[in-house]
Amino acid sequence: MGTVIEAVVVLLETAAFFWWSIHLLLGGAAGWRTLVIPAAVTALFWVGLEGFAALYFSSTIISDSKLYGTIGVVFSLLTWFIAIAAVLVLGALIGDVVQVRIRKGRRRELPEQSESEAETPAGVTRSTP
């Protein structure tokens, strides 16, 4: 039970870190609520990468060091950095896709909304000709 609680706490801390980081890197252009799902998905991927790395990369670095020397370690670390980049990009991308689909689902549930109103971004007013 203790490890489950620890895992949930780590996931929440990681999500909070990515939530703040994405907001900072976007310069506040996106609202905090908009960034919750991308941050949560990125945190989930990050924790998954941590688990995979604990099982795979430690032994890979040691074996590559024995087989290929220093360059083997360099290649193993490069693979690790590529995995980190993939987690960050895919987490933000998939989080945004999920959020867009959730918004589309909510728009379908709202009655009496025309297509032009549904496509207008928040805060933008349209003038009718």
Quick one: pLDDT at residue 21?
94
Quick one: pLDDT at residue 23?
92
Copy the structure tokens of residue 44: 């989930």
Q: At a CB cut-off of 8 Å and minimum separation 6, what does 48 contact? A: 87
On the question of pLDDT at 18 being above 70, the answer is yes
Tens digit of pLDDT for each residue in 57-113?
Answer: 888 999 999 999 999 999 999 999 999 999 999 999 999 999 999 888 877 766 665
Q: Which range has the worst mean pLDDT, 1-5, 47-51, 60-64, 81-85?
A: 1-5
Buried b (16+ CB within 10 A) or exposed e, 23-57: beeeeeeeeeebbebbbbbbbbbbbebeeeeeeeb
Domain extents in the chain: 2-106
CA 25 to chain centre: 14
Q: Give the predicted TM-score (pTM) of the model.
A: 0.74
Backbone angles phi, psi at 103, to 5 degrees: -65, -40
